Amino acid sequence: MPESLRYTAAARFEAARTVAVLPDGHRCRRLHGHGFTARVWAAPDASWAPFAGAEVETLEQCLERAVGDLDYRFLNELLSVPTDEELARWLRRRLERQSVAQRSVPGIVAVGVQSTPDQGADLDGQGRVHVWRRFRFEAAHQLPNVPEGHQCGRMHGHGFEVVLHAVQPLAEGDHLGIDYDRLEERWAPFIHDLDHRCLNDVPGLENPTSEMLAAWLWARLKPQLPELSWVSVYETVTAGCHFDGQNHRIWKEFRCESALRLAAAPEHHPARRLHGHSYRLKLHLSAPLDQVLGWTVDYGDVKRLFDPVYRLLDHHRIDALDGLTQPDAAQLARWIRDRSAPLIPQLDRIDLEERPGCGVVLAWGDEAPILPL
């Protein structure tokens, strides 16, 4: 399957707003403020950046210039209804129409705005808005069908996180998609069922893997929320799964502390000097559900299979690795794919960040939810 490469960038801004389109008495009708995070995903052509390997940095600079007009502002002075959706729409226009000197961004795939760490809205290229809200509960579980000696066969627990994603068309005149409160209302009954419980005791969750929990939630939420598009379950901060009603996908996260220099960078450019990144790497896998074990692939197996590649990257100078003389984010992601896919056949997407929110998404399988990464 052909690959899809997207560059990503993130930037923060502090701003105040009121949202008058919400019902009387809603707290967001009052003057309030947020530490917002804006994100952009783009697939510009190869000649867009000043030099090969500068794409992530250039996209980040473009986004920072765009949000500069929002930082420490009263957003209602710029937008009559400054919802997260409208802010994303405003940012997309600004990124596409910046002056030649400021460098506009071609090939924008999506623009997102998070008003808090637990909620956000993303506007895709088809005019659809993807709204998401994160929830948390504390629970115990054990997996009854794993092989003897597997650590998940013992009773243990997690601070689980669930992200509900909902999608709907949003016309140019519409200011508000699905209100975050609606997602919260739909989630509220599940707190009683799941929080401070042993999941094995919940009817239908006798084998409470992440995948089974995501499907259990989908079956109960979808009739009440037709716009539901994905349910994401974060079992730990480094592993989780997504379910769209038909397909299960999982991801496993790694951190790599690596040194490098970009020999292709112009003379005197900082990237030409020896420097380093704390890389955030997510491996995404797609596979059928094992009807006995209740998972697609064991997270522990992913970690074990990836370990030979991980050992080459972590605490090493990566431009000295065989086949990686130009270790910009895109080439590094391809290098990881070429060495990991034979070890992990279910692998079909890699998210690689050099800095928080800034990096690449390399995919060669079916689409998965982009946010939250």
**Residue 60 falls inside a structural domain:** yes
**Residue 107 falls inside a structural domain:** yes
Number of domains in the chain: 1
Are the C-beta atoms of 280 and 356 separated by less than 8 Å?
yes
Portion of the chain with pLDDT greater than 90, in percent: 84
| Closest residue by Cα to residue 302 from 332, 282, 326 | 282
DSSP one-letter string for 96-107:
HH--TTT----S
Q: What is the CATH number of the domain that holds 70?
A: 3.30.479.10
Say what the pLDDT of residue 373 is.
Answer: 43
Helix, strand, or coil (residue 152):
helix
pLDDT tens sequence across 164-212? 999 987 655 555 667 899 999 999 999 999 999 999 999 999 999 999 9
Residues annotated as part of the active site? 152, 196, 235
**Residue 307 falls inside a structural domain:** no
Cα(190)–Cα(220) distance, rounded to whole angstroms?
A: 10
**Residue 309 falls inside a structural domain:** no
**Residue 41 falls inside a structural domain:** yes
Cα(86)–Cα(200) distance, rounded to whole angstroms?
A: 42
Say what the pLDDT of residue 176 is.
Answer: 60
Pairing assessment for the beta strands 128-141 and 248-260 based on DSSP bridges: unpaired
End-to-end Cα distance, the chain: 23
Quick one: DSSP state of residue 290?
A: P
The two tokens of residue 324 are 């990686």
Are the C-beta atoms of 326 and 263 separated by less than 8 Å?
yes
Q: Around Cβ 83, how many Cβ atoms within 10 Å? A: 24
Residues composing the chain: 373
**Residue 315 falls inside a structural domain:** no
Report the sign of the C-alpha dihedral through residues 44, 46, 50, 55, in that order: positive
372 preceded by a cis bond (ω within 30 of 0): yes
pLDDT tens sequence across 230-280? 999 999 999 999 999 999 999 999 999 999 999 989 999 999 999 999 999
* pLDDT confidence tier of residue 103, bands split at 50, 70 and 90: confident
The whole-angstrom distance between residue 279's C-alpha and the CA centroid of its chain comes to 15
Task: Give the position of tokens 């629970």.
Answer: 139
Q: Going by C-beta distance under 8 Å and a sequence separation of 6 or more, which residues neighbour residue 166?
A: 130, 131, 132, 177, 178, 183, 225, 227, 228, 229
∠ Cα 88 98 54 (to 5°): 90
pLDDT tens sequence across 294-345? 899 999 999 999 999 999 999 999 999 999 989 999 999 999 999 999 999 9
Domain enclosing residue 83, as ranges:
1-125
Say what the pLDDT of residue 367 is.
Answer: 60
Q: What is the value of pTM for the model shown?
A: 0.93
Cα(189)–Cα(336) distance, rounded to whole angstroms?
A: 42
**Residue 1 falls inside a structural domain:** yes
Are the C-beta atoms of 170 and 115 separated by less than 8 Å?
no
Helix (H) or strand (E) holding 91: helix 84-97
**Residue 251 falls inside a structural domain:** no
What's phi and psi for 79, nearest 5 deg? Answer: -135, 135
Cα(310)–Cα(307) distance, rounded to whole angstroms?
A: 5
What residues pair up with 111 in beta bridges, in sequence order?
Answer: 40, 123
* pLDDT confidence tier of residue 21, bands split at 50, 70 and 90: confident
Task: Give the position of tokens 């409160």.
Answer: 181
Cα(185)–Cα(162) distance, rounded to whole angstroms?
A: 14
Cα(189)–Cα(183) distance, rounded to whole angstroms?
A: 11
What residues pair up with 284 in beta bridges, in sequence order?
Answer: 251, 349
